[in-house]
Structure 1
Amino acid sequence: MAKDLQAAHAARLPENRNRALTALTDARVGLGRVGASMPTEEVLKFAYAHARARDAVHADFDVETLANALEAIGHRSVSVRSAAPDRMTYLRRPDLGRRLADDDRERLDALQTEGVDIGIVVADGLSATAVHVNAVPFLAALLPLLHSAGLTVGPVTFVQNARVAVGDEIGALLRARLVLVLIGERPGLSSADSLGVYLTHGPLPGRSDAERNCISNIREGGLVPPLAARKAMWLVNESLRRQLSGVALKEEEATLIGAAAEG
């Protein structure tokens, strides 16, 4: 009898370890086995996650709803398009997503006659779903911090079928000292709703990725929007003070941890 109990306990040990691992991460760990295959439940979960990721890439960008939500918290916006005329072209031609359509470039250039401290761009990127879920909560936390610091903010610019670098052109047209690009990150099988924020000081067409700072995995299951806003505010302050961004601007973890504790 005692041997039977010991054998049953030993059989449960892998299951218990798997539960401990899965409680700590959304990653696909401890999936278990049925013979030489995965359990049917895990196969179905994988198929569902893959479908969510595909849907996020092809989801329509609901600019109107986002613009209304921004207006409700007292901030204006403008909508433009990249040079990619449709979603399939955007996916096949990343270069077109990095610049504005010609007519929208002219319209945006005429919109702002005086410079601003901060330009904010909201782009669908590779997951409009991430933007729909996280952009407004992030901005609702960030905008009061920017205003409290006495920084001027241009209209939030929504860009359809856009890549990160489109923010350089928009920031230059708005004559912004610094641009923040909120963009849907490439969906993974554990998260289809992850938002990224890219900060570039002195935005101009031709800036390299090494000249940007990035805050990634902004979502409820990752870095929650209010804390991401505090991290972004620290980077904004330091970028403007030092007049640089990218690899030359390192995050000081103690400062960020302190900001999180205060929040």
Structure 2
Amino acid sequence: MRSFPRHTVRQPFTVAGLGLHTGVPVSVTVHPGDQGIGFRYGGTRVLAHPANVTDTTRSTKLGEVGTVEHLMSAFAGLEITDAEVELDAPELPGLDGSAGGYIDAIMGVGIEQIGDREFPSLYTRLFLQEDGGPKMAIGKGNGQWRFVFATDDRWPGEQAFELEDAVGGYVEHIARARTFAFAEEVPMIIQLGLGRGLDENSALILGIEGYKNEPRYPDEPARHKLLDLMGDLYLAGVPVRALNVVSERSGHRANVKAAAMLAQAMGNTQPAT
């Protein structure tokens, strides 16, 4: 068994913006908590757990609450284990397309330790592999995470980003990497009514020969995919620094599937509500 500290926010804070896909105005208040990470909307509380994921189409949805991955990633990177997230609309805001706004807000109010929790060591490596698609390996470790973003013959081909200490390097190297889209997919995204809370400043556009707008990092897509992966896997409730993870080509569907495998392996069979 390994002991890890439990943390919550020191006091409530509120962020507001437009739902990343719906574009609906939303206010989100994060309160201190001691019952895991819960999302509250419309009088219902849903626990952050893979069993409660209801959709993984271009984002991760918990119960009725959409696009939780960027806030969950911020919680993972700052090792927040307990918080109550209250929304007045059913999707979290896109903010600047990254987890940076959440990081700034959490660090602005501070973090408080509320005890410790013991975790069993992961007794076996977990593998997820689909023909021609996502690959992932999860094992007991010390927080070394790697993501390989691959587009085959289309630019940029392959990008890989790795941190030996994903917690220690999260704020500087991962948190501000923005969501992205391929230029040829933008008309379809608009037609489907997605990405309404984003613009050219909050979404990186990948053209066929390079970026269409200014990237924050030369390998920003790989970093953002790692950001998403950390948020999705954190649904299993396992500290980032307890694992070593390598993932290639995975998106929200595969990430959540892996989170369910991890939760099962760690005996995290919390109730679905």
Structure number with greater Rg is 1
**TM-score, normalising length: structure 2:** 0.24
More strand by share: 2
**RCO comparison, higher one (Cα < 8 Å, 6+):** 2
**TM-score, normalising length: structure 1:** 0.25
